[in-house]
Structure 1
């Protein structure tokens, strides 16, 4: 686990979709099972985990993180 509470994993071939899903099979996810981001390589996903490591305590539940007024996910999300 690159950062406590976060996981980096590769989608199985059968679950990859055409387009972005096929080009970015590596995922950075929260321990709750929520996917946070997609990457083309394991190294990129690990780098992403390190970049967000200090934003919050990722070992907390997803509900606790999203209810925390000091953490606004919209400040960090690229839409």
Structure 2
């Protein structure tokens, strides 16, 4: 992908997370900045956690395959 395509994809992800966080903070909270940041951190954590687990498993599988191919 070109740099502009990456920029567009990242900006759409950031805009989506901001909209999700704002709606959650206004629906369940009192609308303060502290509650917004707390909600944003929770959304980012639960969004990134599965990706990190899948990435770690992918790296483990790649290292295992390389070791098997070298012997």
TM-score higher than 0.5? no
TM-score (norm: length of structure 2): 0.27
Larger Rg: 2
* Higher relative contact order structure (alpha carbons within 8 Å, sequence separation ≥ 6): 1
Q: Which has the higher helix share?
A: 2
Q: Which has the higher strand share?
A: 1
